[in-house]
Amino acid sequence: MSAVGEQLPELRIPITRTLIVATAIAGRDYQDVHHDPELARERGSKDVFMNILTSNGLVGRYVTDWAGPAARLRKVAIRLGAPNYPGDVMTMTGEVTEVDGELVTVAVRGANSLGAHVTGTVTLTVGNTR
């Protein structure tokens, strides 16, 4: 059973150009800033950067990997901050902030060398396998 204050283990995710481009295309996000470095720079970015769908998916993966196979996401509420650029590493951290029976809320943060890339909360049911 999870307890308020429980810390999730850190997860370090290398941010590669392949991760950024492949996940954007897989999510049908064809915005050029996610796959074309020259156009991304023309638009004021230093390089291509991760899209929000990928960040959302990584947050979900982080929490469900911790919670186990019976876990079911109920709500994911995130906010983006510093971009995830190729060559950086995003370190995911989390803490249980509320427990109500099988319903657990986790505060999450994914940070890179520029600061917080993603922050938010995930609410999930954890089931009986943990």
The closest alpha carbon to 61, from 82, 81, 76, belongs to: 76
This prediction has a pTM of 0.93
What pLDDT does residue 55 have? 98
Question: Residue 130 and residue 116: Cα distance in Å, rounded?
Answer: 29
Question: Residue 111 and residue 130: Cα distance in Å, rounded?
Answer: 27
Q: What is the CATH number of domain 7-125?
A: 3.10.129.10
Strand pairing partners for 109? 93, 119
What is 7-75 written as a DSSP string? EEEEEEEEE-HHHHHHHHHHTT---GGGT-HHHHHHTT-SS----HHHHHHHHHHHHHHHH-TT-EEEE
Per-residue pLDDT in tens (0 to 9) along the chain, 130 residues: 589 999 999 999 999 999 999 999 999 999 999 999 999 999 999 999 999 999 999 999 999 999 999 999 999 999 999 999 999 999 999 999 999 999 999 999 999 999 999 999 999 998 764 4
**Domain definitions of the chain by residue range:** 7-125
Provide the pairing of β-strand 103-112 with 115-125.
Answer: antiparallel
Q: How many CA atoms lie within 13 A of 28 on its CB side?
A: 0
